[in-house]
Structure 1
Amino acid sequence: MTSLVLPDVAAQTAFSATTLSWVGMYGIALPIQFHDQRLNATADAGVSLDDAQARGIHMSRLYLALEALENAELTPEILRRLLQTFLHSHEGLSKAAYVRLRFELMLKRPALISPLAGWKHYPVEIDARLVDGMFHVEHTVEIAYSSTCPCSAALSRQLIQDRFVARFGTSDHLSHSAIVDWLGNSEGIVATPHSQRSRAIIKVRMTEAAVSLPTVRLIDTLERALGTAVQTAVKRADEQAFALANGQNPMFCEDAARRLHKALSGERTLQAFHLRVEHAESLHAHDAVAESQWRW
């Protein structure tokens, strides 16, 4: 019986001898373990092609190696081992290996006042590379928050002052109850500042000594710095507390960027960071954007 030999087209076809910096696959479906959760992720996996005489790489070897992420908690060390496997399976072909993971982390967040709680999703991206023996991990997380315009707040206060003078004049003999009543109805509060849903996109580079991915700690630190993270389940008391937080934290996009820069500067596990804030203007049809970075 004659055995069937499958054709190897990659070895048979002539090609132009050229090295390539990245060859691999994008958008691989992959379950991962992270923060005690099993999450659906997509992976981009690749290696360099440094042997100019080789037609291509062994993509199936990269695909099969990703199985190591299915049942182990995602850490820098697990990513390092994965990239080493990429290189070992392409010995003589590749000197650099890459993997990028995208997923949404689910965190249950408490309401501001009431005992309610609800789930929020945070888009996360982990980018790891092993190049010439140097291992790097970059970590991106996105946070949604509310931003109240300081200029709009000041203009609203001026209108309220003007309406107060129009109603009571310059009298020095106003009763406490009259002022309280006036402040509590629509005649008094004639204007409110505009707020918008905003987002911060934070990208950090971990130090080589990092043993874990500080996603949750970063999210908590950055939300505290902003003071107005979007909420989930709320009662009226929570909505009022959120209105108070917005009133006490008016910020332009520049203010938000500076707050986040300061908060990230205290993280010792970071080698570098880049941040971008986007305020989806409710006054204008365009967005207001600010960026900052350190050692990037």
Structure 2
Amino acid sequence: MRTSENAVRSLPDIANEAKPHAAGALEWVGMGEIEVPVSIGTADGRTVQSGARVTAYVNLARPDVRGIHMSRLYLHVDKSLSNEPLTPCSLRRLLKEFLDSHADLSDRAMIRVAFDHLVRRPALVSENSGWKAYPIVLTGLLERGQFSLELACEVVYSSTCPCSAALARQLIQERFGEDFARGRPLDYDQVVSWLGSEQGICATPHSQRSSAEVRVKLAPGFELPVVELIDRVEHALKTPVQTAVKRVDEQAFARLNGENLMFCEDAARRVQQALAADERLVDFWVRASHYESLHPHNAVAIATKGVAGGYGGGMDSFAPLRR
């Protein structure tokens, strides 16, 4: 006799019924790279949606249980992140749902949400604008009723080497001495023409695309300062890469680079000072990486707020933003 297609069957639950081959508690168990849409509220009341990849974990505190209920984690992630904007409250609530659904197995929960946040940026001079994508990572942890939240972002900027600039200026001075003999009267128009020529400006400093990776631990009671954090970093560095660029914008960018010569140490300190006074940040970690055009390796500087028990130099400080 065939079983009706509509009849309810009892399906085996091996993870719940079978004992582990080797007993032991596990630090984290869950799902990685869950694909889901997320949205962030903006200051003007709009929301910006992005595609995210989510890691959802709980610990497995009971050594005698073979596995957790992974489908529950997925369904909680899908329901929460697909239907409401990301906020500290929504992430804390989601982590509590993880633990409530694993009440007999787990007492810690973690979520990591990685996505690119699109921001429309104006050109430096012209009336144009364009979209810029900033990698964002939110990491929430709920442990013994205590919720902590970390926000990470990456800002790409241009850096012009101060040493290279000084060496280029010296060569220009020497060329000027060769082309305009000492003691002879200078012709203004001739000098102006010389300054605008490749013959006169015979050397230029090297510049390169650079990256500031920033991780901050957020204090409770604030909304997610995603764009505010990005703006603070960009304003400190002064040379963020541009989107829509006409010649007037490119010239303005060249001026900004000339007025903001910096080693990676300078860049890290600029961001460090910009973040130090923000009351929303319990702690922070900054890595400035200059992808040198002079040689095939990078110049790197790392700075922290230096809070005891925070980001003060442990190996975790070297975890990349993109992972």
Q: Aligned residue for 2:33? A: 27
Alignment of 1:13-52 (within 5 A): 13-15=18-20, 16-35=22-41, 36-52=47-63
Listed one character per residue, the Cα deviations across residues 96-127 of structure 1 (whole Å, up to 9, x for unaligned) are 01100000001111010000101111000000
Alignment partner of 1:136 is 2:148: yes
Q: Aligned residue for 1:293? A: 304
**Which AA in structure 1 matches 2:226?**
T
Alignment partner of 1:8 is 2:41: no
Alignment of 1:126-205 (within 5 A): 126-171=138-183, 173-205=185-217
Alignment partner of 1:95 is 2:107: yes
**Which AA in structure 1 matches 2:172?**
I
Alignment coverage as a number of residue pairs: 295
Mapped partners of 1:292, 1:22: distance in 2: 29
Q: 2:226 aligns with which of 215, 218, 224?
A: 215
Per-residue deviation, 1:169: 1.5
Per-residue deviation, 1:216: 0.1
Alignment partner of 1:267 is 2:278: yes
Alignment of 1:70-85 (within 5 A): 70-85=82-97
Cα gap change, 1:204/1:85 in structure 2, threshold over 3 Å: closer, same or farther? same
Q: 1:117 aligns with which of 129, 153, 157?
A: 129
Mapped partners of 2:183, 2:171: distance in 1: 19
Listed one character per residue, the Cα deviations across residues 47-106 of structure 1 (whole Å, up to 9, x for unaligned) are 011122222111111111111111211100000000011111111211101100000001
SS at match of 1:70: helix
SS at match of 1:164: helix
**Which AA in structure 2 matches 1:189?**
I
**Which AA in structure 1 matches 2:89?**
E
**Which AA in structure 1 matches 2:38?**
I
Mapped partners of 1:256, 1:12: distance in 2: 56
Per-residue deviation, 1:181: 1.2
SS at match of 1:104: strand
**Mean CA deviation greater in 176-185 or 227-236:** 176-185
**Which AA in structure 2 matches 1:275?**
V
Mapped partners of 2:230, 2:68: distance in 1: 38
Task: Give structure 1 stretches of 5+ with no counterpart.
Answer: none
Q: TM-score, normalized by length of structure 1? A: 0.97
**Which AA in structure 2 matches 1:103?**
F
Listed one character per residue, the Cα deviations across residues 226-257 of structure 1 (whole Å, up to 9, x for unaligned) are 01000111111100000000000010000000
Mapped partners of 1:46, 1:11: distance in 2: 18
Q: TM-score, normalized by length of structure 2? A: 0.89
Mapped partners of 1:187, 1:158: distance in 2: 14
SS at match of 2:102: coil
Per-residue deviation, 1:3: 5.8
Mapped partners of 2:84, 2:12: distance in 1: 37
Per-residue deviation, 1:174: 1.0
**Mean CA deviation greater in 46-55 or 117-126:** 46-55
Mapped partners of 1:156, 1:31: distance in 2: 49
Cα gap change, 1:151/1:179 in structure 2, threshold over 3 Å: closer, same or farther? same
Which consecutive segments of 4 or more residues in structure 1 shift more than 6 A?
Answer: none
Listed one character per residue, the Cα deviations across residues 4-45 of structure 1 (whole Å, up to 9, x for unaligned) are 321122244332321111110000001111131121001000
Alignment partner of 1:231 is 2:236: no
Mapped partners of 2:178, 2:117: distance in 1: 53
Listed one character per residue, the Cα deviations across residues 127-179 of structure 1 (whole Å, up to 9, x for unaligned) are 00001111000011001000000000000000000000101121252122221
SS at match of 1:141: strand
Mapped partners of 1:234, 1:8: distance in 2: 59
**Which AA in structure 2 matches 1:59?**
M
Task: Give structure 2 stretches of 5+ with no counterpart.
Answer: 42-46, 312-323
Mapped partners of 1:24, 1:217: distance in 2: 32
